[in-house]
Structure 1
Amino acid sequence: MKLTKFTHACVRLQKDSQVLVIDPGTFSESEEALAGAHAVLITHEHADHVDVDAVVGALKGNPGLQVHAPSGVASRLAEKAGDDGERVHAVEPGTSFEAGGFAIRSFGGQHALIHPQIPVVANIGYLVDENVFHPGDSFVVPDGIDVQTLLVPIHAPWSKVGEVVDFVIAVRAPQAYPVHDGLLNELGRGLVEGHVTRIGAKYGTRYARLSPLESVEV
């Protein structure tokens, strides 16, 4: 499977001729990521994870596209795209389904707390083909499975470095790559990634940086 990282939280997965996109948000090259996609997974409603206009445009321009998202996001997208529920699907945690030829399992349910005065929204983490796990804005650890490729939110308004490291330790995937890094400069990135790389290695996780539009086989 080919994994291409886009800016911030968006990734594009491709196997054979099938393409799956996760979290094409406003911080990302969302239109480029969505080009030719067969399915889209959205973790939650925040704009850095879903560019509503771009996704609606993709739905209108690509009749084969299927979108899966938490119910509030799904309702909003369906209304704007004029979809009757045949191509925009609400996802609950603890379910399994097929999306664009990929096997998906969903986990979690709630966004990490930013501040008590900021409402907590629904957040779904997705495991793709028993391999790649994208947690969205949460450190939920998938239960009962062995993640092979972990996408790590390495910096966010809702996290601290120790929590990032503990997440990597808890999942213990053989390999990990960054997401949610759009707010970091190079100094901050080096600090966080240094801790994740060094401590993660003690628990069997090889962490590697991916730049925007860089691809790797997973």
Structure 2
Amino acid sequence: MKITKYIHSCLLLEQDGEQLLFDPGTFTFADGTVTPATFRNVSTVVITHQHPDHLDVQALQEIVRLSRATVLSTQEVADQLKPQGLPVQVVEEGLLTVGAFWLEAVPVPHEPILDSELPQMLAFFINDKVLNPADSFSPILQRYKRVEVLILPVMAPFLTEVRVAEFVRQLEPQQILPVHDGYVKDFFVEQRYDTYEPHFAQQGIQFHRLSQPGQSVTV
């Protein structure tokens, strides 16, 4: 499986000629480096929750128009997108097959945010090897301890380096792919990676420095 990062939490997964896209949000398209046309060949788009940094409605409309992809998400997102004419296959919990991908959807709580109502949100375990927790560090996710690849939010208003490191200590993944860092300058992303990479290396965990849009790993 090839995983390509396109700014913040937007990830393109490719397996056996199929493309699965996670969370094309506003930060992904903010400076024009990435456009909806980048995703014209996707078969399915998964939106983990309705926050704008994970869901850019205008961009999603264009992606679906170009690709005719199916959109999977929560009932909350489906209700939001219905007036826009975007049909959503509502996912609540459990296993589903999407082409070459096997997904386990897990309802999880969003990490606390100041003065904000928390959205419905889904984490996904993909092909028995990749865990995308969305914006959750819930103990629910400890069932995936020693997962091969952890998609790891590394920066957010609701996070500290210590909180990130503790979540990794609990899950003990083999590899980390950092996300949720698309709203800060490149030099700060690199500085933060300079902190995380040796810290996790001491635990025998590989940290993939995907700091530029279009960089990828194969797992």
The TM-score with structure 2 as length reference comes to 0.87
Q: Can you give the 5+ residue segments of structure 1 that lack an aligned partner in the other structure? A: none
Cα–Cα, structure 1 residues 69 and 186, in superposed 2: closer, same or farther, change >3 Å?
same
Q: Which position in structure 1 is the counterpart of 2:47?
A: 42
Work out whether 1:81 is the aligned partner of 2:82: no
RMSD, aligned CA: 1.9
Work out whether 1:192 is the aligned partner of 2:197: no
User: Would you say the 8 A contact 2:10–2:25 is kept in 1?
Assistant: yes
Q: Which position in structure 2 is the counterpart of 1:99?
A: 98
Partners of 2:73 and 2:120 in 1: CA distance: 10
Q: Which stretch has the larger CA shift, 30-39 or 190-199?
A: 190-199
Q: What are the Cα deviations for residues 124-161 of structure 1, in whole angstroms up to 9, with x where unaligned? A: 11111111222211213524334211111110011111
Partners of 1:148 and 1:192 in 2: CA distance: 22
Cα–Cα, structure 1 residues 104 and 132, in superposed 2: closer, same or farther, change >3 Å?
same
Partners of 1:158 and 1:133 in 2: CA distance: 20
Q: Which position in structure 2 is the counterpart of 1:114?
A: 113
Partners of 2:168 and 2:162 in 1: CA distance: 10
Q: CA deviation at 1:163?
A: 0.7
Q: CA deviation at 1:96?
A: 1.2
Partners of 1:110 and 1:69 in 2: CA distance: 15
Q: Which position in structure 2 is the counterpart of 1:71?
A: 75
Partners of 2:216 and 2:77 in 1: CA distance: 28
User: Would you say the 8 A contact 1:172–1:204 is kept in 2?
Assistant: no
Question: Which amino acid in structure 2 is aligned with residue 212 of structure 1?
Answer: P
Partners of 1:147 and 1:50 in 2: CA distance: 26
Alignment length (residue pairs): 211
Identity percentage of aligned residues: 29
User: Would you say the 8 A contact 2:45–2:72 is kept in 1?
Assistant: yes
Q: CA deviation at 1:77?
A: 2.3
Q: CA deviation at 1:186?
A: 4.3
Cα–Cα, structure 1 residues 33 and 71, in superposed 2: closer, same or farther, change >3 Å?
farther
Cα–Cα, structure 1 residues 202 and 58, in superposed 2: closer, same or farther, change >3 Å?
same
Partners of 1:114 and 1:44 in 2: CA distance: 14
